[in-house]
Structure 1
Amino acid sequence: MGWWNGTPERRERWVLDPLVGVGPLRFGMDSGEVKAALGGPRDGGTWVAAEGTLRAEYPGMGLNCMYARGTSLVAVAVNAFQGPLVRVGEVELIGRVPSEVRAEIHDLARREGAAVRVNWSGDPEIAAWGVSMGTEPDGELSAEGYPVQKDRVITSVLLVGPGLAHDPYATTPVMHWRDVTGRGRNPGAWPVTRGADRPYWDWVPLERVGPLRFGMSPPQVANALGGEVPAGRIGDFPFWFYARDGLWNLREDRFENAGVSAHYWTNPDGVPRLGAVTAYGRTGPQVLYADIPLVGTAPSSLGAAILQHVEDHDLGLCFSPSGAMTPSGVNLALDAVRAGDATVSEPTFYAEDWEM
């Protein structure tokens, strides 16, 4: 089932028993018990890390189940599109407008005397319930069968047992599912820079974006950005699922002032080289394609403009990993980044041999 088929009528409805379990699942179950509770295997994939943690993905159900050492269930991530519709009290948590869910969560927490904090993504997190909210860009299929991004986000959720509730995203099982340690912490606001206040960067496909040329080393990238020090760095160890040791590979530098991320690959000489650049949708420089602004615009209008340009000039059409339409041959990927309840476009420009 594709993400566009996750209609409420086709989804299970689960109730959260805070810190105890959700639906038929109970924290502490082993992987066999979880499979049995879900009615048998559901097209799952399994990953095991060196320290003994386990993650099992059930894409057909919109679930990621995470286990501590000894395969004891400690966390369940529920997808916005296909996951069960989870309720805590009278609050429906999944597939809704984030601001509405946030207001209802605060009201319920106030009545129950539970503290609400803000998690890494700027969404509500309630340790007493083992709830950490999240969002995903919404989408649908067009009449022609194209995947189309909507101009909004909808809610997803991470549910954890008592051992992880104090700080879910700092725990090993969750980090193997979604490692956010190198990403900026959102305070719960998503301001978007006005178009007139954004610098304009030129773009030569497959060669450079603004002052950044593909193939640069990290020091060269920083120098091209005026000596800005990265606000965060993301990397990995080879074969991290076996052990976190050996050479650490730099994958991404985040430059908040410039409003871009630099993505690297590691050459045989061991030096990271620039392979892609993401211009932040909320705060990054503006980049044009055929006079179409690519940064910080509504994804639906951007998709329509690009499709019209492709049809007018009889060009090839590609799709980003997110499903957004892009012209072929320019090595451009379009994503949508959150701006409150809405989304704005966030492009990534990449070198010839870069794999998105």
Structure 2
Amino acid sequence: MDSDEAEAALGGARNGHSQVAADGGFWVRYQDIGVTGIYGPGMILAGVAIDAMEGPLVRLQEVELIARVPSQASAEIQHLARREDAAVRVNWSGDPEIAAWGVSMGTALEYGISSTGHPERKDRMITSALFVSAELADSPYETEPVRQWCDVRERAKNSGSWPVKTDQERSHWDWSPQKAVGPLRFGMTPQQVADALGGEAPSGRQGHFPYWWWRRGAAGQWTLTHDRFERTGVTAHYWYPAGLPELGAVKVHGRTGPQITYAGIPLIGATPSRLDEAMLQHIEDHDLGLLFTPSGSPIPPGLQFDINATRAGDTAISEVTFASADWEL
């Protein structure tokens, strides 16, 4: 079906966001119902992504696919696949993907409503799903138009396991707000960052061309945006205040990164809800004033960091992005 037919089938759901790709494909998020339609050239529907929190519940025979505990959903999918003689593989995010059914599973952090009526993060992951046509089913995330909607080629791939270092296994770094994180000082060049990390080469690099229609191999300057250092457990984010890349922010990975504390509170690898509670208590005890980060975490003013949550199997743990004074979190 085309985009008009899809919208009619969805009862005229409101278009919350859409974007057109260079090859004529495009995607539309129907925000009222938590569904994204992914369209190929000619406005023909090629894929449907179902949101973990807001999307409709979808059943494959007796298996509920959406808003489930990932390991439970995976076990039921595996059981159904064996019964139906369908092959199951692991996709880029470490979740089940079944070409015969045109489905690739995913996850997202669960949110709820606090006692004050505000959204708050939970401590677990729940399932989402991407459904594609038969033509895309063999490799949905590597095929247009899905690749235009969600390009995962430069993201860290997961094998389906989420090992987490204990606090004893982690190195421990100092942090100077808006100035430095461990050996990394804001304003460093990419080479200086690698040297400060003992010469470690980036395990992944991500960037972009200056215009959205350009691709790798086309004319134009490719701009580095971040380097991922898997062994150390950090990602270096760059900006260009003077025309050349400088370190503007450092993300410390929740599962493998060094431990960093604030006021005696461990920030890395913690349960998000408990970390939020500890931060709120510290702010209240010392009358520091209160800010909420873009991800919804409470922090004192002037520190320039954001507490995020990353997956550790069925649960979520904290990771933190520390930024320079002028970096926009």
Deviation at 1:288, TM superposition (A): 0.5
Checking the alignment, whether the CA contact within 8 Å between 1:231 and 1:254 is kept in structure 2 is yes
**Aligned counterparts of 1:172 and 1:217: Cα–Cα separation in 2:** 35
Deviation at 1:315, TM superposition (A): 1.8
**Aligned counterparts of 1:212 and 1:172: Cα–Cα separation in 2:** 38
Checking the alignment, whether the CA contact within 8 Å between 2:13 and 2:31 is kept in structure 1 is no
Deviation at 1:109, TM superposition (A): 0.5
1:264-275 residue pairs with structure 2 within 5 A? 264-269=238-243, 271-275=244-248
**Aligned counterparts of 2:129 and 2:47: Cα–Cα separation in 1:** 11
Checking the alignment, whether the CA contact within 8 Å between 2:15 and 2:31 is kept in structure 1 is yes
1:122 is paired with a residue of what secondary structure? coil
Deviation at 1:268, TM superposition (A): 4.1
Checking the alignment, whether the CA contact within 8 Å between 1:49 and 1:243 is kept in structure 2 is no
Note if 1:301 corresponds to 2:274. yes
**Aligned counterparts of 2:308 and 2:16: Cα–Cα separation in 1:** 26
**Aligned counterparts of 2:95 and 2:199: Cα–Cα separation in 1:** 33
My pick for the range that moved more, 208-217 or 145-154, is 145-154
Corresponding letter in the other structure for 2:266:
P
**Aligned counterparts of 2:287 and 2:119: Cα–Cα separation in 1:** 20
Note if 1:101 corresponds to 2:73. yes
2:41 aligned partner: 69
Deviation at 1:317, TM superposition (A): 2.0
Identical aligned residues as a percent: 57
Checking the alignment, whether the CA contact within 8 Å between 1:278 and 1:347 is kept in structure 2 is yes
Note if 1:185 corresponds to 2:185. no
Q: Deviations over 1:112-157 (max 9, x none)?
A: 0100000011100000001111110112121123432111100001
1:99 is paired with a residue of what secondary structure? helix
1:196 aligned partner: 168
1:6-17 residue pairs with structure 2 within 5 A? none
Deviation at 1:353, TM superposition (A): 1.6
Note if 1:243 corresponds to 2:214. yes
2:144 aligned partner: 172
2:104 is paired with a residue of what secondary structure? strand
Note if 1:289 corresponds to 2:259. no
- Which of 292, 304, 307 does residue 319 from structure 1 map onto? 292
1:157 aligned partner: 129
Corresponding letter in the other structure for 2:248:
G
- Which of 312, 317, 326 does residue 339 from structure 1 map onto? 312
1:103 is paired with a residue of what secondary structure? helix
1:300 is paired with a residue of what secondary structure? helix
Corresponding letter in the other structure for 2:183:
P
**Aligned counterparts of 2:147 and 2:303: Cα–Cα separation in 1:** 34
**Aligned counterparts of 2:254 and 2:8: Cα–Cα separation in 1:** 43
**Aligned counterparts of 1:239 and 1:78: Cα–Cα separation in 2:** 29
2:231 aligned partner: 257
Corresponding letter in the other structure for 1:309:
H
1:200 is paired with a residue of what secondary structure? coil
Q: Deviations over 1:193-220 (max 9, x none)?
A: 0101111111111111001111111111
Corresponding letter in the other structure for 2:214:
A
Deviation at 1:43, TM superposition (A): 3.5
Checking the alignment, whether the CA contact within 8 Å between 1:114 and 1:126 is kept in structure 2 is yes
Q: Deviations over 1:50-87 (max 9, x none)?
A: 11111111122111111112211111111001101011
1:286 is paired with a residue of what secondary structure? coil
2:86 aligned partner: 114
In the superposition, the TM-score normalised over structure 2's length comes to 0.96
Checking the alignment, whether the CA contact within 8 Å between 1:147 and 1:324 is kept in structure 2 is no
Note if 1:57 corresponds to 2:29. yes
C-alpha RMSD of matched pairs (Å): 1.2
2:101 is paired with a residue of what secondary structure? coil
Checking the alignment, whether the CA contact within 8 Å between 1:280 and 1:295 is kept in structure 2 is yes
2:136 is paired with a residue of what secondary structure? coil
Checking the alignment, whether the CA contact within 8 Å between 2:53 and 2:111 is kept in structure 1 is no
Deviation at 1:160, TM superposition (A): 0.7
**Aligned counterparts of 1:70 and 1:266: Cα–Cα separation in 2:** 39
In the superposition, the TM-score normalised over structure 1's length comes to 0.89
Corresponding letter in the other structure for 2:89:
R
Q: Deviations over 1:79-100 (max 9, x none)?
A: 0011010111111000010000
Corresponding letter in the other structure for 1:263:
H
Checking the alignment, whether the CA contact within 8 Å between 1:85 and 1:94 is kept in structure 2 is yes
1:330 is paired with a residue of what secondary structure? coil
Checking the alignment, whether the CA contact within 8 Å between 1:67 and 1:173 is kept in structure 2 is yes
Corresponding letter in the other structure for 1:323:
G
2:80 is paired with a residue of what secondary structure? helix
Note if 1:351 corresponds to 2:327. no
Could you tell me which runs of 5 or more consecutive residues in structure 1 were left unpaired when the two chains were aligned. 1-28
Corresponding letter in the other structure for 2:41:
R
- Which of 247, 253, 259 does residue 280 from structure 1 map onto? 253
Could you tell me which runs of 5 or more consecutive residues in structure 2 were left unpaired when the two chains were aligned. none
